[in-house]
Chain A
Amino acid sequence: MEISLPESLLFLAIDQKGNNLHSHQACYLYSLAGAVLLELLLAKRVGFQSDKTVVANSDVSSNDDILEEAIQLCTIPNNTIYWTKFKKMA
């Protein structure tokens, strides 16, 4: 089964019993959002301009609900800091 970056991070972040996070929850606000952005980048769903503005590419689609939701948010060009800090997409 091919799992996405945010999924992998989430698996690693949760303890063996599957109940609690290993690290402080605030650590994941940015990293999960970052993981979604990175996954979109790998799938060529977003690109970066020189000023780190995230530009969405809606020509292709995936079967991943999370990524699709995220790409809808990314239709407004903004930089990576904006998406990780304010949107907390994951």
Chain B
Amino acid sequence: MRANKLLASNARNPWVSSHRPIQNTALKEQIIQRIKEILDYQATPNPKELMLLSLIKTSKLTQSVFGLKLKEVKSTEDKIQEVLNKKYDYKEIDQSLRMFLEEDLGRYYEALETLTDAIGTISDAIADAGGADGGDGGSD
């Protein structure tokens, strides 16, 4: 099955596509191997690979892509940023695109993280309140 078909069926709603699994381990491993070589400076990235690196970082995929422990994520993301900083002089990458990658997209994720944290906090607070009510027999 062509990758495009997979994308067409999954990209619109990939999170509801558990009945349409994507299984192309070899291709995935090939992509990951190439990324690792780039991060180790064994390969020179092309613009598309640079963009993929940036998208991995902004999509919070660093840990899963490289199979890292949580404490290793920061240093790997720093390494990605180091490569991006070094190679962002590709002429093909428009100045505004850089802004898009580094500012706009980043800002969305910051907002998303803040929102996620807030939801987590509220959820915890509700759980605590429920526990306190149960334990105290209610304060009303």
B24 to chain A, nearest CB (A): 7
Contact A10 B7 (CB under 8 A): yes
Binary A-proximity of B1-22 (CB < 8 A = 1, otherwise 0): 0011011101110110010011
B112 beta carbon closer than 8 Å to chain A: yes
Within 8 A of B (CB), among A24-72: 24-28, 30-32, 34-35, 37-39, 41-42, 47-50, 52, 64-66
- Which of B21, B47, B59, B97 contacts A27, CB < 8 Å? B59
State A84–B133 Cα separation when bound (angstroms): 43
**Which of under 10, 10 to 19, 20 to 34, or 35 or more describes the interface residues of B?**
35 or more
Query: Which residues of the other chain, A, contact B105 by a CB distance below 8 angstroms?
Result: 30-31, 34, 84
State A66–B108 Cα separation when bound (angstroms): 23
B52 beta carbon closer than 8 Å to chain A: yes
Binary B-proximity of A4-28 (CB < 8 A = 1, otherwise 0): 1111111111111111111111111
Contact A80 B104 (CB under 8 A): yes
- The number of A-B residue pairs with CB atoms under 8 Å apart is 142
State A48–B99 Cα separation when bound (angstroms): 11
Query: Which residues of the other chain, A, contact B97 by a CB distance below 8 angstroms?
Result: 38, 41, 48
* Central interface residue in A17, A32, A34, A52, by most chain B CB within 10 Å: A34
Query: Which residues of the other chain, A, contact B48 by a CB distance below 8 angstroms?
Result: 5, 38-39, 42
Query: Which residues of the other chain, B, contact A20 by a CB distance below 8 angstroms?
Result: 18
B51 beta carbon closer than 8 Å to chain A: yes
State A25–B99 Cα separation when bound (angstroms): 24
Contact A35 B55 (CB under 8 A): yes
- Which of B7, B51, B59 contacts A66, CB < 8 Å? B7
- Which of A13, A17, A39, A85 contacts B21, CB < 8 Å? A17
B44 beta carbon closer than 8 Å to chain A: no
B61 beta carbon closer than 8 Å to chain A: yes
Contact A34 B55 (CB under 8 A): yes
A46 to chain B, nearest CB (A): 10
Between-chain CB contacts (< 8 Å), 17 pairs: A3-B27, A7-B3, A7-B6, A9-B52, A10-B22, A12-B31, A28-B14, A30-B109, A38-B97, A42-B47, A52-B96, A52-B100, A66-B8, A81-B104, A84-B104, A84-B105, A90-B11
